[in-house]
Amino acid sequence: MRKGMTFTRFIFEEQRRVPESTGEFTLLLNAIVTACKEISDDVNRGQLINVLGSANTENVQGEMQKKLDIISNDIMLKALEWCGHLAGMASEEMENIYPISPQFPRGKYLLVFDPLDGSSNTEVNVSIGTIFSILRCPEGTTDPTEEDFLQAGTRQVCAGYVLYGPATNLVLTTGQGVNGFTLDHDIGEFILTHPKLTIPEDTNEFAINTSNFRYWEPPVRRYIEELFAGADGPRGRDFNTRWVASMVAEVHRILMRGGVFLYPKDSRENIGEGKLRILYEANPMSFIVEQAGGASTTGRERLMTVQPYTLHQRIPVILGARFEVERITRYHLIADSAD
Ligand code: P6P
């Protein structure tokens, strides 16, 4: 008998703690995790099965799609549309929502996901991952519209990601803290390896794409310049920087050893409110970070309180170590009050 609790046992024991639970959510979660195991297998095989490189198509964001973006999106759709626990899905890779076909039963949840975040890294073998968020379908709605997906992050039932790196890690929250699992490829099960993850309130490590410095708002430039100044500057200590260009890998690092991540507003026309999308990147990651004791804001307000008005809406994201996020937010408010 292998050491460690399997993910299957973990979610069944979690379910038993909710007296009124029907088991629908547990079965949905299991189906999502099974889909991610299939994606992990394709990602790990890479060029052995000719899945690397561009698909020579653009997604709704105007971004060039990788073959694996489309493959992983299809895997999610095919692995979940039949399960009977969803009324609809939405994905970074699809312009419109994906209603469940009438041939399948519909359920009470909505699923939004980024099937392969950080996919610009597929050819260079840097960690990428699937990010997902489970919402409730409005009571009595069996044929959801885009409107029904436009829910603030505080209404998420569950958020998680699967990171395809040297190890395949699943990280999950249902609002009762954050737990991490590692895929045991020999038995095809995720094993609980990182229970009750927490993010230290302080950090010396920050993640931001510094090549965008000239496009940032003054409070972000002030904050980053202070970090650059290190022990000689107002912070009185040196900082370290990391940028993987894969949000799922950055957030995982922050959960493992602390840190702060920023993808802020940007003066460029095509970036504007930021590069990250509310529903399937910013909200799920903010839920996870908050549940681990961190914080997540837009620079001006708690990110998870923002009411989305379109499916692929972007938002500035500042998340991680609570004290750093609070400082950055304070700088924004000081700058705004001076305007
Ligand atoms: P840049 C990946 O494309 C992504 O959406 C996030 O995962 C990542 O943090 C960001 O974009 C990287 O953006 O501008 O540094 O390439």
Atom of ligand 1 nearest to the CA of 250: 9
Ligand 1 pocket, residues with Cβ under 6 angstroms: 117-118, 120, 209, 245-247, 263, 275-276
Q: Which fold is adopted by the domain 7-194?
A: Fructose-1,6-Bisphosphatase; Chain A, domain 1 (3.30.540)
Sorted by sequence, the CB contacts under 8 Å of residue 273 that are 6+ apart come out as 265, 313, 314, 315, 316
Q: What local confidence, expressed as pLDDT, does residue 1 receive?
A: 58
| pTM of full prediction above 0.95 | yes
Nearest residue (by CA) to ligand 1, atom 3, is 118
Question: What is d(CA 255, CA 292) in angstroms, rounded to the nearest whole number?
Answer: 8
Give span(s): CATH 3.40.190.80, the chain: 205-338
Give span(s): CATH 3.30.540.10, the chain: 7-194
Q: Which ranges of the chain have pLDDT less than 70?
A: 1-2
Tens of pLDDT, residue by residue over 196-233, are: 999 999 999 999 999 999 999 999 999 999 999 999 99
Q: What local confidence, expressed as pLDDT, does residue 59 receive?
A: 86
Q: What local confidence, expressed as pLDDT, does residue 339 receive?
A: 82
Atom of ligand 1 nearest to the CA of 261: 9
Using DSSP's 3-state secondary structure scheme, residue 186 falls into coil
Tens of pLDDT, residue by residue over 43-54, are: 999 999 999 999
Atom of ligand 1 nearest to the CA of 120: 3
Just give the CATH number of 205-338: 3.40.190.80
Nearest residue (by CA) to ligand 1, atom 16, is 245
